[in-house]
Structure 1
Amino acid sequence: MAGPFDHDAPLAAADVHTADNAVPPLDEDLAGCLDDLAGVHPGIDLIRDGYRLLATDRLDTDQTQTILATLAGSPGADVTTLLALLVQRLTNPDSNPCLRALDPDAQKTVKHLGQVHAFETAAFATRPYEPVAEASAAIDGI
């Protein structure tokens, strides 16, 4: 059975062509992930709404290329980088005052782990950019 990240799984005809070329509904994995994040915080709900709109909106090829680059195809100017920077900010007592209530060792640990996340995201991020950038180029026939 093909999983959500099975790169060798063939696309079914229903995945490409739908009645009247309509945008199909969300698949169970994406819908379930969006549902699991409901109610965490109003900011997360706004992000969920944006992701749902991106997944279900009728896009043209120019919009699709731009969105792909914005999500994970343009190092330093994409959602992947934005997420890493937000995690780093939220784990830093200097920018998230609620962490100042922690003892100093816990503050250092939380801040360090946020920095590790940002570093590892930046290191890993160079890998996902290439396929997304290539997908964007393929849409334009480059």
Structure 2
Amino acid sequence: MDDYPAIHTPGRMAPIPSRTAQVEPLDDELDGQLEDTAGIHPGVDQIRDGIRLLALDRLTADQTQTILSTIAGADANILTTLGLLVQRLTNPAQNPALSHLAEDTAKDVRVLGERFAYDLAELAPGEHTTEAAGLIDGI
């Protein structure tokens, strides 16, 4: 409890982490996801390394707010970017590895990639991260 000095407000106490509090290790679920995606491709390994760094780095409140917006809250964000990557990878015109697919299969693969990108861009709950970032900033 030493890492969480209390702020005294009428009727309640709220723990505030001290500036020297340790960053918690990764939980089993996030760590497992990162481990399960190891070694697939150097680009995926870089993404994994970035996620691990963000999860374990001692961030400021301002950095946390900005990262939340960048990952999923702003108009231009990482989730939308990943959706566009999936759209590109599933498009035989942009990914020569799919050139062997039958025309109907190629079209189905492309459409599924487009739907995934659309779902991430339009249906992702970015308002939650935007609201969280606003609360951190006191907006």
Q: What is the alpha-carbon distance in structure 2 between the residues aligned to residue 66 and residue 120 of structure 1?
A: 23
* Secondary structure class of the residue paired with 1:101: coil
Larger fraction in strand: 2
Tell me, yes or no, if structure 1 residue 141 matches structure 2 residue 122.
Answer: no
Instruction: Give the % identical residues.
Output: 54
Superposition pairs of residues 74-93 of structure 1, within 5 angstroms: 74-75=74-75, 77-93=76-92
Q: What is the alpha-carbon distance in structure 1 between the residues aligned to residue 35 and residue 120 of structure 2?
A: 25
1:17 Cα deviation after fit? 4.6
What amino acid maps onto 1:51 in structure 2?
A: I
Q: What is the alpha-carbon distance in structure 2 between the residues aligned to residue 117 and residue 49 of structure 1?
A: 24
What amino acid maps onto 1:29 in structure 2?
A: E
Q: What is the alpha-carbon distance in structure 2 between the residues aligned to residue 55 and residue 96 of structure 1?
A: 32
Give the equivalent residue in structure 2 for 1:129: 126
Q: What is the alpha-carbon distance in structure 1 between the residues aligned to residue 41 and residue 23 of structure 2?
A: 29
Q: What are structure 2's unaligned runs of at least 5 residues? A: 1-14
Runs of 4+ in 1 over 4 A off after TM superposition: none
Give the equivalent residue in structure 1 for 2:51: 51
1:122 Cα deviation after fit? 2.3
**Larger gyration radius, structure 1 or structure 2:** 2
Larger fraction in helix: 1
Q: What is the alpha-carbon distance in structure 1 between the residues aligned to residue 64 and residue 17 of structure 2?
A: 17
